[in-house]
Amino acid sequence: MRGKRYTQGHDPCIYYNKLHDGEFIYLLLYVNNMLIASKSKSTIDKLKKQLSPEFEIKNVGEAKKGLTQRLRETEKEKKFA
């Protein structure tokens, strides 16, 4: 991911990229799963298209849980609860 201009976070399984409009896109990896998070669906779709030649991508929809944490969604934002 570093070759695609993503920065590795403090955790070796987290990568992020600051986009031209100031927003961020996050890629979280765990074993053979990945979670892509961004405010923009088109940004997520673009990253999935970039990754598809290298990785088998299967869309399972929106995340409901992250490891053992539930994701809580409000009108303004999504957070780990």
Q: How confident is the model at residue 81 (pLDDT cuts 50, 70, 90)?
A: very low
CA 36, chain centre distance (Å): 2
Residue 28 structural domain: 2-80
Pairing state between β 33-38 and 65-66:
unpaired
Average pLDDT over residues 11-20: 88
pLDDT digits 0-9 by tens, 17-75: 998 888 889 988 888 888 888 888 899 999 899 889 988 888 877 776 665 555 555 55
Residue 73 confidence (pLDDT): 55
Q: How many domains does the chain have?
A: 1
Q: From edge to edge, which strands make up the β-sheet containing 65-66?
A: 65-66, 69-73, 78-80
Q: Which amino acid would we find at residue 36?
A: I
Predicted local confidence at residue 49, as pLDDT? 92
